[in-house]
Amino acid sequence: MSRWRESSLPVDHVRRAVYLSYAQAMVASVYAASTGGMFLVGYALALGARDIHIGLLSTIPMFCVLAQLPGSLVVENGASRRRVTVAASLINVLGWGLIILIPFLATGASAGLRLGLLIAIATFVTIFGQIAGNARGSWVGDLVPALIRGTFFGRLGMYAGIVAAAFSLGEGYFLDTIKAHGIGAFSLLFGFGMLFGLANVGLFAAQPDVPITTGRNGRDSFRALLKKALHNRPLVIVIAYSTLWMMQMMSWPFLPVYMLRDLKMPFVGVGAVNAVHMVMGLLAAPFWGRVVNRYGSRPVLILCSAVTAIWPPLWLLYTSAGIVYTVVAPLNIIAGFMSAGVGVGMITLLYKVTPSAGRSTQLAAHSILVQLLAAPMPALGSCLPGVFRHLGWDVGLRGTIAAGGVFAIAATLTSLLLIEDHAKSVRELLSNLPRHLLSRASLR
pLDDT of residue 175: 60
Give the tens place of pLDDT for each residue, 130-164: 899 888 888 887 788 777 777 788 788 778 777 77
pLDDT of residue 133: 86
Q: Which residue from 29, 48, 27, 49 is spatially nearest to 37, judged by alpha carbons? A: 29
User: Within a 10 A sphere around the Cβ of 419, how many other Cβ atoms?
Assistant: 14
Whether the Cβ atoms of residue 164 and residue 29 lie closer than 8 Å to each other: yes
- Phi then psi dihedrals of residue 32, to 5 deg: -65, -40
CA gap 174, 406 in Å, rounded: 36
User: Within a 10 A sphere around the Cβ of 37, how many other Cβ atoms?
Assistant: 20
Alpha carbons within 13 A on the beta-carbon side of 221: 3
Q: Provide the 8-state DSSP code for 2.
A: T
CA gap 314, 358 in Å, rounded: 42
Give the tens place of pLDDT for each residue, 60-78: 777 888 888 888 878 877 7
Compute the CA torsion angle 195, 196, 200, 206 (nearest 10 deg): 70
Rg of the chain, C-alpha, whole Å = 21
**What CATH number has the domain spanning 8-208+221-443?**
1.20.1250.20
For the chain, the domains span: 8-208+221-443
Helix (H) or strand (E) holding 120, with range, is helix 111-143
Give the tens place of pLDDT for each residue, 320-340: 999 999 998 889 999 999 999
CA gap 194, 30 in Å, rounded: 9
pTM for the full predicted model: 0.71
End-to-end CA distance of the chain: 15
pLDDT of residue 218: 47
Residues in the chain predicted with pLDDT less than 70, given as ranges, are 1-9, 37-38, 106-109, 165, 168-182, 212-223, 225-226
Q: In terms of residues, how long is the chain?
A: 444
